[in-house]
Chains A and B, each alone.
Chain A
Amino acid sequence: MAISKDNFIVVYITGVSDSLDFAEYYAEKHNMDTINRNPSSGVNSGTIGGINWEVNGQLIGIESSSTSEILTDEDSFDTNILTPLKTAINTASELSDRTIWGVVLGYKVPGGYNYIDEYLGEEHVISSTSRISRIHHDFDLKIKNRLFNRQVFKRFDQDDADFALICSRIDAPTLLQAKEFVDNAEELRRQLFVDGTFYIDPYSNQIGSDSDAYKKSLEDFRDFIIPKLNLDSFSTQFLDPYIDVTIPFAQDDSFIWSWNSSRSDNDFFQFTSFTRAFFYNADENSGFTIRDEDSKTWPILSMRAGYPCCAAAMSDPTIEGFLNPTAFYNALHRLSTIGEAYIYSLPFIDWTMTFFGDPLINISFPKAIDEDTENLDSDQLWEEISKDTARIAAQFWQKEQDSDDLRKTIVDSQITDVEINLLRPAHTMFTMYSLQNRQSLMSTPVSSLFDYPIKENTDTVGVSVKSLEDYLNLKSYKISELLLEIKNEEVSEDNIFEEGWWEFEHEIQDDFFGFLNYHFILEVYDNEDMSGDTVLSSDSFTIGGWSYELSLKNYSNMPVGGVASSYVGRKVRYQSRKDDLISLNEYLTRGRTYYFRIRQYDAVEGTLFPWTTYNDIIWT
């Protein structure tokens, strides 16, 4: 079930008529329920901590004692907003059968609260959207977002909602302006696709490793992701590490992603003949207010210029807390709502970042997502099939060995009637898997496998693949000798797996149900019970032999710090090593089945997670 308006509630302040007016306006635009379906039964209002709450359809009213944009402290926020809202969600009969995945904080709902980190002596403004996103959890300052930058895409679901809700805020200096933001969102929803210019500014005057990393992520986004959206783009140019180059103005823009200066002027946004969609400037505190009409901060300027959505920090989020553009636009491109895209691009929760605007917008780009990116291409497919075919060949090969063992067992028994009565039928069984018979059994698929890349590349301009050897050279692939036994082909030794070579792959699991870096412990046994000594044991902390799947079937060396949980669903891989110089030989016996078990552990705390077991035949 994809997230929809039915999964959202809208929060307003009771006793503030404009706040209710706005909530009803938003609900009407989305055809949300504003009256209770069964008003005569159940409990749909109450009081907690002296604060009244009420539920009407998908609207939740809270009689907060303050409508200040920033409340004085956490206690005030909990008493006035969080606890009554949580109580309403958990106890109102109207909401009992509604799956709530998102919250819209409406006009005049406080946008955050002051928080002093007594341990570090730092002051922060915790945003309401961030805190209410984790309404079902205790406050955990700057907790890493488990949903951040997932490498295997999926739409928002209950599992995600159990960690964090999608939460946005629509507020403004006046009720009229708040409603305009909703109107702008409605206008955006009506567009077939959005195709104005994408303005990007990857450069700031900040220095240091975090700054360099964020600059790199913006440059990569500019170079690799924006082209996929098929939008015109404008990028600032790098001048000097100490100069903050800025976008001079925006014209015919639909998207802006910039960095540093938190304020600008009214004339930054010039005329656009395209619909404006999403604005983000990575800075320290431009989200401090959305209500101050005189402020020149980005959220106010951009939303006044027609942007229906933007994001900003209420106090310094730190550079590592800036939104990730690739995660954001990959999700939007896959037709996620903008609220989903935001939560996937947000590094920390219970923190300072706020999402302003309508979270229910979907945006279409001039170019649809290329679905092939998460499917094997024909070469990757060939490589995978060749390995599985080698596994079949290894099973047949081992059947011959097993049958030979049966014959030898009979002879070695030196029991006369056993030898006389059993050797002949055992020999018949053995001959069924002679090389000639194995060739007969497998020649059709193996021939087809070998011919496929030659036929596929026959008409490809500039590619000369006239033999299996050509193909293996072209792709840097290797093949099992057991397949070459079935169909003899001229293949150089460099393109044949060494006998006994093996690899092991494991899909990274979400063991922690939170964000962390994983390392891995692998053990290999020669018996199904996994008893006795291991044949091999390796910890990925040692790095050697280990890699992880950066993108589909594209592996990179294991980082010293482990693999981030955003790679859940991708794989880690261990490849056996052999080096005569240092007497290292991890190769195993051809045709023999081995039993593997792997467990993930927290790369920082060392917490161990459960074992997962596998078995595989050595097919090389």
Chain B
Amino acid sequence: MALTISDILELHLPFDITNETLNDFVFFYVEVQRLITLTQNRGTDILNLYDVIISTIDGSLLSNLKGLKTSITESYQIGKENARLNNEDYYLKTVSFVKELQLLVLVRYDSIDDFYEERGITVSQIFADISQDAGHPISSQYIEDIS
């Protein structure tokens, strides 16, 4: 019977390198890198949307009778600040996650770059920045050119 996420979270297995094929690991790694990039981008998109809304309200001819314009602007500024703090928190948690992820690479390869070179992997700039903050810098040739 397959283990559920809750089951696995309860497990405290000793560290071990299994016999999985490296292909499975590569597939897994690429997908994780994609998801992490995606979620970080969403954080930026959220802040941009807050800026658009605040700017829309600010530039409108909305009456400030009863202080409504000020009030709604402030509430969106609070929302934006919440999102910003959440982004920072999420980023730190992502850094911790990526640190563990890259350690799993180093169990299998001498360096992250070696892994990328052998498997022809490139990662996003966002992922590379996170990896750098996690103590695993990535050489520029393995970072996707977004230009």
Which of B62-70, B113-121, B125-133, B136-144 interfaces with chain A? B62-70
CB-CB contacts below 8 Å: B26-45 with A: 27-28, 31-32, 35-36, 38-39, 42-43, 45
The answer to whether B18 touches A415, judged by C-beta atoms less than 8 angstroms apart, is yes
> Which of A384, A429, A447, A455 makes the CB contact (< 8 A) with B75?
A447
A421–B93 touching, CB < 8 Å: no
A378 surroundings in chain B (CB, below 8 A): 60, 62-63
Bound complex: CA A240 to CA B27 (Å):
81
Instruction: Give the interface size class of chain B.
Output: 35 or more
* Interface stretch of the complex, out of A203-211, A286-294, A385-393, A509-517: A385-393
Interface stretch among A252-260, A298-306, A398-406?
Answer: A398-406
Q: Are B107 and A395 in contact (CB under 8 A)?
A: no
Shortest Cβ distance from B117 into chain A, in angstroms? 21
Residues of A within 8 A of B39 (CB): 399, 402-403, 406, 429
Q: Which of A325-333, A339-347, A438-446, A532-540 contacts B (4 or more CB under 8 A)?
A: A438-446
Please tell me if A432 contacts chain B, counting CB pairs below 8 Å. Answer: yes
Which B residues lie within 8 Å of A399 (CB)?
A: 39, 42-43, 90
Q: Can you list, as one digit per residue, whether each of B66-83 has a CB less than 8 Å from chain A (1) or not (0)? A: 101001100110110011
Pair A444/B75 contact, Cβ less than 8 Å: yes
- Knowing A416-B18, A425-B100, the reply to whether A445 touches B79 (Cβ < 8 A) is yes
**Chain A residues with CB below 8 A from B78, complex form:** 444-445
Q: Which residue on B lies nearest to A411, using beta carbons?
A: B5
Q: Judging by beta carbons under 8 Å apart, are B13 and A448 in contact?
A: no
* Dominant SS among interface residues on chain A: helix
Set of chain A residues within 8 Å of B5, measured between Cβ atoms:
407-408, 411, 423, 427
Task: Determine whether B1 belongs to the interface, using a CB cutoff of 8 Å to chain A.
Answer: no
- Please report the number of residue pairs spanning A and B whose Cβ atoms sit closer than 8 angstroms: 150
Alpha-carbon distance between A536 and B123 when the two chains are bound, in angstroms: 30
| Cβ of A51 under 8 Å from chain B | no
Alpha-carbon distance A388/B57, docked complex (angstroms): 12
Interfacial chain A residues near B66, Cβ < 8 Å: 455-456, 458
Provide the bound-state CA to CA distance between A324 and B9, in Å: 74
Contact B90 A445 (CB under 8 A): no
For A432, give its contact among B11, B17, B93, B103 (CB under 8 Å). Answer: B93
Pair A421/B103 contact, Cβ less than 8 Å: yes
The reply to whether A406 and B96 contact each other, CB–CB distance below 8 Å, is no
- Chain A residue at minimum C-beta to C-beta distance from B27: A413
Q: A392-B46, A423-B5 are in contact. Are A416 and B16 (CB under 8 A)?
A: yes
The reply on B109 being an interface residue by CB < 8 A is no
Given contacts A381-B60, A395-B42, contact A415 B24 (CB under 8 A): yes
Please, how many angstroms separate the alpha-carbon atoms of A389 and B20 in the complex? 45
Q: A388-B53, A395-B49, A445-B79 are in contact. Are A372 and B89 (CB under 8 A)?
A: no
**What A residues does B104 contact at CB under 8 A?**
417-418, 421-422
**B-chain residues with CB within 8 Å of residue A448 when the two chains form the complex:** 71-72, 75-76
User: How many angstroms between the C-alpha atoms of A378 and B72 in the bound complex?
Assistant: 12
For B86, the chain A residues whose CB sits under 8 A away are: 432, 441
How many chain A residues touch B (CB < 8 A): the figure is 56
Known: A395-B42, A402-B35, A406-B32. A413 touches B93 (CB 8 A): no
The answer to the question of A231 belonging to the interface, with a C-beta cut-off of 8 Å to chain B, is no
Check B11–A420 contact: CB distance below 8 A.
yes
Q: Nearest Cβ distance between residue B96 and chain A, in whole angstroms?
A: 5
A402, closest chain B residue (CB): B39
23 A-B residue pairs with Cβ-Cβ distance under 8 Å, sorted by A, are A378-B60, A378-B62, A381-B62, A385-B57, A388-B52, A388-B53, A392-B83, A395-B42, A395-B46, A409-B32, A410-B28, A411-B5, A411-B8, A415-B18, A416-B16, A421-B100, A425-B93, A429-B39, A445-B76, A445-B78, A448-B75, A455-B68, A458-B66
A→B interface (CB under 8 Å): 371-372, 375-376, 378, 381, 384-385, 388-389, 391-392, 395-396, 398-399, 402-403, 405-411, 413-429, 432, 440-442, 444-445, 447-449, 452, 455-456, 458, 617
Extra pairs beyond A414-B20, A417-B104 (9, CB < 8 Å): A371-B61, A375-B60, A384-B56, A392-B83, A405-B35, A409-B32, A441-B82, A444-B75, A445-B76
